[in-house]
Amino acid sequence: MEAYELYGRALRRKAARMLGSDTDAGDVVQALFVELLQRPAAPLDLPYLYRAVTNRCLTLIRDETNRARLLPSEPAVVSARTLLDDRAITHDLLRKLVRQLDDEHCQILTCRYVDDMTQEEIAQLVGLSRKTIGHRLDAIRDAAQKLRAAEGGAS
């Protein structure tokens, strides 16, 4: 499949950043392309594939049976260069936010704080205005602050 050759490695790297596991990332990307082979009319452009991988990763993170295996008990850093209010996003914080936020906010969270995309890039990818993305990011930061306050500043 030509789309796999073009985008497979990039999608796998993206999934690995989210999941913290190359093996799980490979499984997610492979499952996506197997599904796409069964639906020949499915779009094969990068924005569609990017959203599909993001959503599959978020679903996997949300899955209660996989949380313990995917997310270590000590706060491992998802991406050393990505900060939320001057603090690195940890798997623990990502897990808690994913459980609390709706799908749209989770996708924006992933784009900004895991993939280091700009607000303009996110707006183009998800089809919202840059101003709306800014408001959604403010809501994500507020949710993270509330989580930290509820835990006494930990996270």
Q: Which positions ≥6 away from 35 have C-beta within 8 Å?
A: 42
Question: Is 15 strand, coil or helix?
Answer: helix
For the entire predicted model, the pTM comes to 0.61
In degrees and rounded to multiples of 5, residue 132 shows phi and psi of: -65, -40
pLDDT values of the chain reduced to their tens digit, one per residue, 155 residues? 688 888 999 999 999 988 888 999 999 999 999 988 888 777 788 888 988 999 999 888 877 555 565 555 544 444 434 556 555 567 777 878 888 899 899 889 888 887 888 899 899 888 899 999 999 999 998 998 888 788 775 54
